[in-house]
């Protein structure tokens, strides 16, 4: 069975490769499909340019459409977007939407969830008096609302907040406050017609040894009978199919 990736980033946001380089890589790997999901524009991203600009969004859409036609005999290409909770950009032109939370808004500042460990730690000290569980509670409040806000087809990296928490080095994911916050968000999303992603991006980039979400959350998703999709959250063509099993 073909392995395909539907969470793919390019030079139009924070990926390393052009869309065409990724299409060629996908064909060489025997993929029957590939989905591109540039980070939606947000005006809070500067000076850390992880997302597309409005100008590059136009170029991105045009290039993916060009490649769809050029390679239509070899691979099916989908035009998607990873829509951030705080992005207000239109999603009308996309074939599918991945919904994600990358920031928490606290005391007038947007705090990045996944930029660096130091930024996360400093923000918790500064804005939460060192209370990581309060930080998690604010994050999961947004995650629980991400379908309502983005009308997404897929929930991206549900517990992205654990990116720098390998081995529970910053907070304990078995803590009752953490579990209550995560489960509240999860229960809201389980009530929606949405797909959940098992995301190997942090493993591919060396931050974690296990994918998002953690096993406890995956089991709850499976027990609820919800659909699951595997993704590499690709930012480098050499990791296009990282973690994606043969039979999924």
Q: What phi and psi, each to the nearest 5 degrees, are found at residue 97?
A: -130, 130
Residue 34, helix vs strand vs coil: strand
Token pair for residue 144?
């629980």
**DSSP H/E element including 148:** helix 146-150
Q: Which residues are CB-contacts of 219 (< 8 A; sequence separation ≥ 6)? A: none
Residue-wise pLDDT tens digits, 135-163: 999 999 999 999 999 999 999 999 999 99
* Residue 48: per-residue pLDDT: 59
pLDDT of res. 44? 87
Under CATH, which number does the domain 19-239 receive? Answer: 3.20.20.140
The confidence score (pLDDT) of residue 210 equals 97
185-to-74, 128, 144, 215, 231 alpha-carbon distances in Å:
40, 20, 4, 16, 21
Q: Is the pTM of this model over 0.75?
A: yes
The answer to whether residue 47 scores a pLDDT higher than 70 is: no
pLDDT in tens, 204-235: 999 999 999 999 999 999 999 999 999 999 99
pLDDT number for residue 107: 96
pLDDT for res 49: 76
Cα–Cα distance, 1 to 33 (Å, whole number): 12
Average pLDDT over residues 95-101: 98
- Distance, C-alpha 54 to centroid of its chain: 20
Q: State the average pLDDT over residues 58-86.
A: 98
> Confidence class of residue 46 from pLDDT cuts 50, 70 and 90?
low
Judged by average pLDDT, the poorest of 36-45, 67-76, 136-145 is 36-45
Mean pLDDT of 96-119: 96
Query: What value does the mean pLDDT of the chain take?
Result: 96
Residue 30, Cβ neighbours under 10 Å: how many?
11
Q: Do 162 and 170 form a contact (C-beta atoms < 8 A)?
A: no
Q: Which residues contact 134 (CB under 8 A, 6 or more apart)?
A: 128
């Amino acid at each position: 069975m073909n392995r395909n990736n539907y969470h793919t980033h390019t030079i139009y946001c924070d990926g390393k490769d052009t869309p065409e380089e990724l299409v060629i890589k996908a064909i060489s790997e025997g993929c029957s499909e590939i989905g591109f999901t540039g980070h939606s524009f947000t005006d809070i991203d500067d000076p850390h340019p992880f997302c597309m600009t409005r100008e590059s969004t136009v170029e991105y859409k045009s290039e993916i459409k060009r490649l769809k036609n050029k390679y239509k005999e070899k691979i099916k290409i989908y035009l998607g977007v990873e829509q951030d909770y705080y992005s207000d950009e239109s999603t009308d032109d996309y074939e599918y939407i991945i919904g994600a939370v990358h920031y928490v808004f606290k005391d007038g500042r947007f705090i990045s969830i996944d930029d660096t460990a130091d930024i996360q730690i400093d923000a918790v000290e500064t804005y939460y008096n060192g209370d990581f569980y309060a930080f998690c509670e604010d994050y999961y409040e947004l995650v629980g609302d991400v379908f309502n806000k983005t009308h997404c087809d897929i929930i991206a990296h549900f517990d992205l907040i654990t990116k720098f928490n390998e081995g529970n080095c910053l907070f304990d994911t078995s803590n009752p406050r953490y579990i209550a916050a995560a489960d509240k968000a999860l229960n809201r999303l389980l009530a929606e017609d949405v797909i959940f992603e098992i995301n190997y991006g942090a493993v591919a980039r060396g931050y974690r040894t296990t994918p998002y979400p953690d096993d406890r959350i995956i089991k709850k998703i499976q027990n609820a009978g919800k659909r699951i999709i595997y993704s590499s959250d690709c930012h480098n063509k050499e990791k296009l199919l990282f973690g994606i099993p043969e039979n999924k």
